[in-house]
Chain A
């Protein structure tokens, strides 16, 4: 109720207010392609944003390929240090042990990359 009274009081204008309104008034401006230009700019931004992520991923993958292949090589050489008995024991107790490990690694990589892309 009080806010309505305040709004009504605001709307009561004296002669000076009306004069100022007429002085500040200006004719409406024609669009003249303004809105089209704005929408075009927005669309361009959207496309750029959509392209940025895949391009960054490809470039990032390309840059990371060499160190990653080196890491894989190091890991495979390290795997030779693991006693064969341990591997055999794991393989015999869980027949699809290698598939499970590979799946777990892939899942971890997927989750990590999704999180990175999200960020």
Chain B
């Protein structure tokens, strides 16, 4: 267990889990630079909330919960910022900021994720990319296990209906 002052031990935890957290946020946001910034913020939040980790459930599950909350908070802030920019009449400037990938750089996974809602995307990534159990996903998203299962079912159905998933490129 890491004490609240042992930054070196926490650094080891960051080194061990950074790949999972960064990959999760990259898939969620679709922007690598933003995802890495959010991952840094997530680990700092995790450090500050470390005493709230009860030891029940996996540490990576708890970390992904912190990362998901950080992502949602950032999304809310960006939305608010966009509203202010729009109200000030700088629509063109805002549009030029958004990063749009060229069609040939979009992987199949990104296309699959695009048909899902934000919540479905987060849950599908937690389940299929991070290997979290339904209960861990429920803990991370504050949703009942039954809802998690139905969201996964719905997500799979959407992907199945939109694409022939047998013919894909790994993303």
Contacts and interface: CB of A to CB of B under 8 A. Distances in A.
Instruction: Please classify the interface of chain B as helix (H, G, I), strand (E, B), loop, or mixed, using the class held by over half of its residues.
Output: helix
A43 B133 CA distance: 34
A31 B40 CA distance: 12
Interface in B121-143: 124-125, 128-129, 133-135
A23 B18 contact: no
Given A10-B133, A25-B129, A42-B47, A20 B8 contact: no
A67 interface: no
Nearest to B108: A23
Given A28-B19, A41-B44, A23 B171 contact: yes
Interface in A23-38: 23-26, 28-29, 31, 34-38
Contact of B170 (A22, A28, A34): A22
A20 B171 CA distance: 11
A34 B129 contact: no
Instruction: Please classify the interface of chain A as helix (H, G, I), strand (E, B), loop, or mixed, using the class held by over half of its residues.
Output: helix
B23 A29 contact: yes
A19 interface: yes
Contact of A25 (B36, B40, B170): B170
A16 B165 contact: yes
A110 to B, nearest CB: 26
A42 B23 CA distance: 22
Contact of B129 (A19, A26, A38, A39): A26
A24 B47 contact: no
B interface bracket (residues with beta carbon within 8 Å of A)? 35 or more
B133 A35 contact: no
A7 interface: yes
A interface bracket (residues with beta carbon within 8 Å of B)? 20 to 34
Interface of A: 7, 10, 16-17, 19-26, 28-29, 31, 34-39, 41-43, 45-46
Given A23-B109, A35-B14, A39-B8, 16 more contacts: A17-B128, A19-B165, A20-B165, A23-B128, A24-B27, A24-B171, A35-B18, A38-B14, A39-B7, A39-B14, A42-B7, A42-B10, A42-B44, A43-B7, A45-B44, A46-B5
The 10 closest A-B pairs by CB, nearest first: A24-B128, A24-B129, A35-B14, A39-B11, A35-B15, A28-B19, A29-B19, A38-B43, A20-B128, A38-B14
18 contacts: A7-B135, A16-B160, A20-B156, A20-B159, A23-B109, A24-B27, A25-B170, A26-B23, A31-B15, A31-B19, A35-B12, A35-B15, A36-B11, A38-B11, A39-B11, A41-B44, A42-B7, A46-B5
